[in-house]
């Protein structure tokens, strides 16, 4: 028993040291983020753009991070295999002066502290998630293809929300003036609008709108719209 405990302690220390590496990636200016894969990304607003990744050396060696056309692209190097089971998870801390778009392809998670911009877009293809804690924008667009989820709170003038699949758009904390929402599949949209909301459903998905907006509804299938 003593030997087993000792071996377990050694393995724990080894695992901790393997996950303790940190690496900074030099980047230029960007206003969008595109994440491919499974890293966990946190984004904070700051005066200068920066990117810092934490994880095992083997995992960090497989990362490919750079700016292309004003978008920070986070992914893995071509030709290298990737498995969190083999290399452990990676967390990435991003600082950016202004963010206008987040795109997730895969199962990665992105959390953004705040956004203040004329327009903002959040899109997911896969099972990942995006959360914006405080959003202030005139035009917003949210879309999911798959089973992912997007959560946002704050203010917008005109919001667009689209789901293809079983994803969830949790936007009841985002106070919009007008809303256009569309579901194809079994997903769910919770949103807020004060003036008008145009809702379209094809399948078993449901849309719920609070805020007192006047709703126009088009539905094919068993999905339901709830406006209050």
DSSP letter string, 12-59: HHHHHHHT-EEEEE-----SEEEEESS-EEEEEE-SS-EEEEEE-HHH
pLDDT tens-place string over residues 94-125: 999 999 999 999 999 999 999 999 999 999 99
The boundaries of the domain holding residue 70 are 18-99
Residues 86 and 178 in one domain: no
Q: In Å, what is the CA distance from 194 to each residue of 86, 146, 156, 213, 227?
A: 49, 29, 11, 4, 11
Residue that terminates a domain, selected from 37, 65, 99: 99
Residues 56, 57, 58, 63, Cα dihedral to 10°: 90
Residues 95 and 121 in one domain: no
Q: In Å, what is the CA distance from 141 to each residue of 38, 91, 171?
A: 23, 26, 11
Residues 119 and 222 in one domain: yes
Tell me the β-bridge partners of 142: 122, 161
How would residue 14 be classed by pLDDT, with cut points 50, 70 and 90? very low
Residues 124 and 165 in one domain: yes
Nearest-angstrom CA–CA distance, 205 and 222: 8
Provide the whole-model pTM: 0.90
pLDDT tens-place string over residues 23-68: 999 999 999 999 998 999 999 999 999 999 999 999 999 999 999 9
In-domain check, residue 165: yes
Count up the domains in the chain and report the number. Answer: 2
């Amino acid at each position: 028993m003593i030997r087993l405990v000792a071996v377990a302690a050694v393995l724990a220390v080894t695992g901790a040291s393997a996950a303790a590496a940190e690496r900074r990636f030099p980047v230029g200016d960007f206003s969008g983020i595109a994440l491919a894969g499974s890293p966990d990304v946190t984004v904070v607003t700051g005066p200068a753009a920066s990117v810092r990744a934490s994880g095992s050396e083997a995992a960090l060696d497989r990362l490919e991070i750079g700016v292309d056309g004003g978008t920070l692209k986070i992914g893995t190097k071509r030709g290298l295999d990737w498995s969190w089971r083999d290399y452990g998870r990676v967390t990435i801390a991003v600082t950016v002066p202004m963010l206008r778009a987040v795109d997730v392809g895969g199962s990665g998670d992105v959390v953004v502290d705040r956004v203040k911009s004329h327009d903002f877009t959040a899109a997911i293809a896969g099972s990942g998630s995006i959360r914006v804690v405080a959003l202030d924008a005139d035009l917003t667009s949210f879309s999911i293809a798959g089973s992912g989820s997007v959560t946002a709170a704050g203010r917008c003038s005109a919001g667009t929300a689209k789901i293809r699949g079983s994803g969830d758009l949790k936007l009841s904390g985002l106070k919009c003036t007008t809303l256009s929402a569309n579901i194809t599949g079994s997903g769910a949209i919770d949103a807020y609008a004060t003036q008008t909301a145009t809702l379209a459903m094809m399948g078993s998905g449901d849309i719920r709108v609070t805020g007192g907006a006047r709703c126009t509804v088009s539905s094919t299938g068993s999905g339901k719209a709830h406006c209050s």
